[in-house]
Structure 1
Amino acid sequence: MPRARRQQISLQDTPYYHCVSRCVRRAFLCGEDPASGESFEHRRGWVERRLLFLASIFAIDVCAYSVMSNHLHVVLHINAEKAEKWSTLEVLQRWHKLHKGTMFTQQFVRGESLPDYALDLVDSSVETFRNRLMDISWFMKELNEPIARQANFEDQCTGRFWEGRFKSQALLDESALAACMAYVDLNPLRAKIRENPETSEFTSVKRRVVAAKHQKQPTLLYPFVGNPRENMPDGLPFELSDYLELVDMTGRIIREDKRGAIDASLLPILQRLNISSENWLCIATEFGARTGAVVGAEQSIAHYCDSNKLNRKPRSSHNRLLA
């Protein structure tokens, strides 16, 4: 029986999560339906625009994403510290970009005078909205529901478009995070619909490559800030250049179907993460099949199980690849 979503999200263990949503009726989210010949390619833009819009509102950062023909992958970072720093006004302004809120919250944003009882209700609403704005379930709901409505309207049908539950995996350490991000960014190559990362439309790696050409990082994606250190700024604990090189070299091997050797340029970051080159290629191509609800080195999983009072280690044998 699946665990409740609130039991799967544990900020004391990790702020990073891999989420996957699939179309429930084997419908085409995007791409071209070979049976009818109808193209749904434009829907990729719907998903990407909505995803990045939500990243500008929620205290949830998008680390990686890829929009496939009948499913989508996102790697998310819950930024609880950021949400706690928001003022009452900022929380309300962000929430009102998604929903109307209440009459009192609307009046508060407009700067109107409110009686004490109304201010108490505003404060209560703000805490509810603040919690929602750092909740992955709310993030995925706000992502999936508008897409479902648009697709159903276009298909002239009703009913579910997405599966009832999105899949969620906790990424417990740097090795799990790097492996999952690479897996997500390389999905179009694994599906043989693109030849290299820089031409993989509607993926985070394509957006990062385009920005890197101008010596920048995309403003709506969680930035790379370098290797872990004291007084580290908010961002991913890798060098952008290392990650792009890692994805590029892995992508070359996936395309050429040569699983036996990895270019020597891959070694520095893999050595720091304590992942062998052979294991890296395995997890970069089969992450979904080789991992369970939590992903990380064995010691990270043991700590997670202890802190969440789990009696068994979820598919721990597969995670030896990350050690």
Structure 2
Amino acid sequence: MAQARKKQICLSETPYYHCVSRCVRQSFLCGENKFTGQNYEHRRGWVESRLLFLGSVFAIDIAAFAVMNNHTHVVLFVDKDLAGSFSKKEVLTRWHKLHRGTLLTQKYLNGKKLNKCEALTVDKITEVYRKRLFDISWFMRSLNEYIAREANKEDECTGRFWEGRFKSQALLDERALLACMAYVDLNPIRARMESTPETSRHTSIFKRIAAMKTGKQPKSLLRFVGNHRQNTPKGITFSLSDYCELVDCTGRIERDDKLGFIGNRKNKPLERLGINLQQWFTLATEFERHFSIAAGSEHMLQKFKRSTNHQRIRGMGKAKLLLNPIYRQGN
């Protein structure tokens, strides 16, 4: 039975969520339909452009994404505090980039004078829009409805394009977050669509590697900010170079001709996460198989279960095996 969205998303426990949207039946989002010969590869650009645009409108940052033939993966960071800091004008301006709003909100943004009753109404509407700007459901709705309309228009048909709801997983700690991001970034390689991360177009790792060559990080993605320290800026508290090494190593493990080389190599990023090579390989290749609505260490899953009033959460056993840190002897 499908879980209520409010039981899957708990911002007091984590701001990070992995969302997956899949097409219905034989629908093709991208790639080539072998039955009809029709090519939909250009739609990858639609999804990526829309996704990055929404990241600039919502108070939600994109940590990772991959656009596949019949589904999309995205890892999101919900910045509720940022949404709370928006002025009334900024909230309405951002929302009007997606929707027309109301006659009163249009009147306010056009600088026309409002009477007291109209001003109070605009204030109430603003708070509704503010909440939507950090709401994952509204973010995914704004992505999926747009793509569905464009695809149906191109296919000259009507009806449902996506499955009824997107799937979401709460990522409760650093190990779950990085494992899920690597899982997402390596999707094209696992599907044999690409052979290396740097050629995997329409993924976040492709954008990160391209930006790294210029000594920068892509502005459209959530930044890696290094290790925890005082006054740590917003971002993923891990080294970008270490993350790229993790992705590269994991990708190599999936290639039979290079298994030996990886097995003889020490992996310092994994040591920092407290995960051995086998644990990481299982996580980064089978992430969705082992976890349902949330992923994290056994302790974090128990905490999330209490916060969301679940009786049980699937994946507790795998969390104990794969995501509980391995402590060195003497620690």
Q: If the TM-score is normalised by the length of the shorter chain, which range does it land in?
A: over 0.9
Deviation at 1:263, TM superposition (A): 5.3
2:322 matched to 1:321? yes
What is the CA–CA distance in structure 2 between the aligned matches of 1:261 and 1:279, rounded to whole Å? Answer: 18
The equivalent of 1:128 in structure 2 is 128
The equivalent of 2:44 in structure 1 is 44
The equivalent of 2:10 in structure 1 is 10
Q: What is the aligned residue count?
A: 323
Structure 1 residues 128 and 106: alpha-carbon distance in aligned structure 2, compared to 1, 3 A threshold? same
Alignment of 1:73-84 (within 5 A): 73-84=73-84
What is the CA–CA distance in structure 2 between the aligned matches of 1:139 and 1:122, rounded to whole Å? Answer: 22
Q: Is the 8 A contact 1:188 1:200 kept in 2?
A: yes
Other structure's SS at 1:3 match: coil
Instruction: Give the counterpart letter for 1:305 in structure 2.
Output: K
What is the CA–CA distance in structure 2 between the aligned matches of 1:119 and 1:265, rounded to whole Å? Answer: 64
Deviation at 1:4, TM superposition (A): 1.0
What is the CA–CA distance in structure 2 between the aligned matches of 1:97 and 1:266, rounded to whole Å? Answer: 48
Deviation at 1:141, TM superposition (A): 0.3
Deviation at 1:268, TM superposition (A): 2.1
Instruction: Give the counterpart letter for 2:5 in structure 1.
Output: R
Taking only the aligned residue pairs, the percentage that are identical comes to 54
Q: Is the 8 A contact 1:64 1:181 kept in 2?
A: yes
What is the CA–CA distance in structure 1 between the aligned matches of 2:57 and 2:25, rounded to whole Å? Answer: 30
Q: Is the 8 A contact 2:55 2:61 kept in 1?
A: yes
What is the CA–CA distance in structure 1 between the aligned matches of 2:38 and 2:176, rounded to whole Å? Answer: 38
1:120-144 C-alpha deviation (Å, 9 max, x unpaired): 0111011000100100000000000
What is the CA–CA distance in structure 2 between the aligned matches of 1:84 and 1:210, rounded to whole Å? Answer: 33
The equivalent of 2:236 in structure 1 is 236
Deviation at 1:113, TM superposition (A): 1.1
2:283 matched to 1:278? no
The equivalent of 2:198 in structure 1 is 198
Q: RMSD across aligned C-alpha pairs, in angstroms? A: 1.4
State which drifts further: 301-310 or 145-154: 301-310
Deviation at 1:314, TM superposition (A): 2.4
What is the CA–CA distance in structure 2 between the aligned matches of 1:214 and 1:119, rounded to whole Å? Answer: 48
Instruction: Give the counterpart letter for 2:159 in structure 1.
Output: G
1:85-122 C-alpha deviation (Å, 9 max, x unpaired): 10000000000000011111111111111111111011
State which drifts further: 224-233 or 158-167: 224-233
Instruction: Give the counterpart letter for 1:93 in structure 2.
Output: T
Alignment of 1:233-312 (within 5 A): 233-256=233-256, 262=262, 267-312=267-312
Q: Is the 8 A contact 2:28 2:70 kept in 1?
A: yes
Other structure's SS at 1:101 match: coil
User: Which ranges in structure 2 are unaligned for 5 or more consecutive residues?
Assistant: 325-331
User: Which ranges in structure 1 are unaligned for 5 or more consecutive residues?
Assistant: none
What is the CA–CA distance in structure 1 between the aligned matches of 2:262 and 2:167, rounded to whole Å? Answer: 30
* TM-score, normalization by structure 2: 0.95
Deviation at 1:230, TM superposition (A): 2.0
Q: Is the 8 A contact 1:195 1:255 kept in 2?
A: no
Alignment of 1:19-98 (within 5 A): 19-98=19-98
Other structure's SS at 1:233 match: coil
What is the CA–CA distance in structure 2 between the aligned matches of 1:172 and 1:212, rounded to whole Å? Answer: 28
The equivalent of 2:225 in structure 1 is 225
Alignment of 1:90-239 (within 5 A): 90-239=90-239
Other structure's SS at 1:62 match: strand
What is the CA–CA distance in structure 2 between the aligned matches of 1:48 and 1:4, rounded to whole Å? Answer: 28
1:51-75 C-alpha deviation (Å, 9 max, x unpaired): 0000000001000000000000000
What is the CA–CA distance in structure 1 between the aligned matches of 2:106 and 2:228, rounded to whole Å? Answer: 42
Q: Is the 8 A contact 2:54 2:143 kept in 1?
A: yes
* TM-score, normalization by structure 1: 0.97
Deviation at 1:182, TM superposition (A): 0.1
Q: Is the 8 A contact 1:259 1:281 kept in 2?
A: no
What is the CA–CA distance in structure 1 between the aligned matches of 2:122 and 2:205, rounded to whole Å? Answer: 41
Deviation at 1:265, TM superposition (A): 6.0
What is the CA–CA distance in structure 2 between the aligned matches of 1:93 and 1:53, rounded to whole Å? Answer: 14
Instruction: Give the counterpart letter for 2:160 in structure 1.
Output: R
What is the CA–CA distance in structure 1 between the aligned matches of 2:81 and 2:266, rounded to whole Å? Answer: 33
What is the CA–CA distance in structure 1 between the aligned matches of 2:255 and 2:110, rounded to whole Å? Answer: 55
Other structure's SS at 2:57 match: coil
